[in-house]
Amino acid sequence: MKGIFLGAGASYECGMPLVWEFTNVLRANILKRLDTQLFDFRENPSFKAYFQQLLSNPDLHYEEMIGKLETIQLERGNLSEVARTTALQLVDCVQILLLEDQEITTRLFAEKVKDYSGISSLLTKHPCLSVFSLNHDINFEEICKFHNIDFRDGFFDEQIERYSNIAIFKSLRKEQIDAKTLNFFESAENGINLIKLHGSLDIFAVEDKNLYLKCAPPLNAPLGGHVQEIRKIEQHSIKLSQAVGTRTISELDVTDNEGEIQFLRRSLLSGANKFKGTFDQVAPIAFFEEFKRKLTKITELDVIGYGFGDNHVNEVLESWIKKENTNLNIYDPRRETLPECLTFAAEKMKIINFGLTGYFRQFEHSEEDQLTQLRNEAFITVREDLRKKRLGSWPPA
């Protein structure tokens, strides 16, 4: 049985940033706002200088920065609280800027998504396919929708009336999570099971994590409609925050159908301590457990755009590849060597220098014509210009 594992590189062609691109954009945006009220250093003014130094360290990407703040928090010293709130606000900034990236690359993605038609042929060969994703973006959901692929993401179509004034949501209740009755296709059914391990831009927890909501735009919504549904929630929260004169960290303040204030907690999982139990985690652990459970049935795993930088994931892959009859294919346009953590199983792995376009295209049997080649070259040029722009956003000239 085949499975797919997606890292950030799988969304690169669509315009979403890799880690160092995003880090530079994040640095530039925060450093120029350090003297505003974006971060609160009133209780520990000296911590501002440390944070500025942290942001300005060219050897650290944003997840490592969050990890440094988490380490200070775990020391339980007099800087623990300011480190905690700073880390939470930093993750908020990550969410906001990723959402902005999702919006500004919509036009590029609307053209690029056409190149992924091979997903239909892939599903014909593998009728019930598990796709595990570390990505916070909603590109894969849009790819499935564009190519009329049925997919399930663990959430149920039950709409919670209480929140219907905010956006259109699917839902997942704590009782369903505890009973392990997530909404996925069974092996005899046809469709893609999309399992997002690190949260998502469109997943929120409410009611003390007894209920999870995931944006579900109308079926007739155009490409980009999904991100606009997320933006509706953000705007609802901004309007309420402006009205009451305050804002919260790591959650969105909204009013429900009855006019009561509710708090939608963001699900993005970032930093150096994922799934260690040392911090309160909004992203449902059940999805990571589902990843481990479904992986036991997979014999061939196609890893696309993952840099093997998450130890909690690598440990699962190490255990899996030790089993008999397992093979791992690494799709990465630039990778030349096997990941160090898996070199013990080198004979069971191979590297294919394709991105997501090349991956899906291999399931089709059509030759590239000259027009397609010119189109691909244009995409590469546009994407390279975007990469340079992001990397050039910091340090300031």
Report the C-alpha dihedral over residues 176, 315, 354, 115, rounded to 10 degrees: 10
Q: Tell me what the pLDDT averaged over the chain comes to.
A: 95
Q: Given this model, what pLDDT does residue 368 score? A: 73
Are 3 and 295 in contact by the 8 Å Cβ rule? The answer is yes
Query: Are 120 and 231 in the same domain?
Result: yes
CB 328 within 8 A of CB 314: no
306 assigned to some structural domain: no
Q: How confident is the model at residue 367 (pLDDT cuts 50, 70, 90)?
A: confident
In tens, the pLDDT along 284-341 reads: 999 999 999 999 999 999 999 999 999 999 999 999 999 999 999 999 999 999 999 9
123, 227: one domain = yes
Does one domain contain both 140 and 59?
Answer: no
Please report which helix (H) or strand (E) contains residue 362, including its range: none
Q: What is the pTM of this model?
A: 0.96
Q: Please check the confidence at residue 383 and state whether its pLDDT lies above 80.
A: yes
Question: Nearest CA to 125 among 386, 364, 366?
Answer: 364
Q: What is the pLDDT of residue 107?
A: 96
- Domain count for the chain: 2
How is residue 154 annotated by DSSP? B
- Could you tell me if 72 and 131 lie in one domain? no
Q: Tell whether 376 is covered by a domain.
A: no
pLDDT in tens, 196-239: 999 999 999 999 999 999 999 988 899 999 999 999 999 999 99
What are φ and ψ of residue 271, in 5° steps? 105, -170
Q: What is the per-residue pLDDT across 256-283, written as a single tens digit (0 to 9) for each?
A: 999 999 999 999 998 877 777 677 889 9
* 239 and 205 housed in the same domain: yes
Give me Rg for the CA atoms of the chain.
21
pLDDT for 372 equals: 84
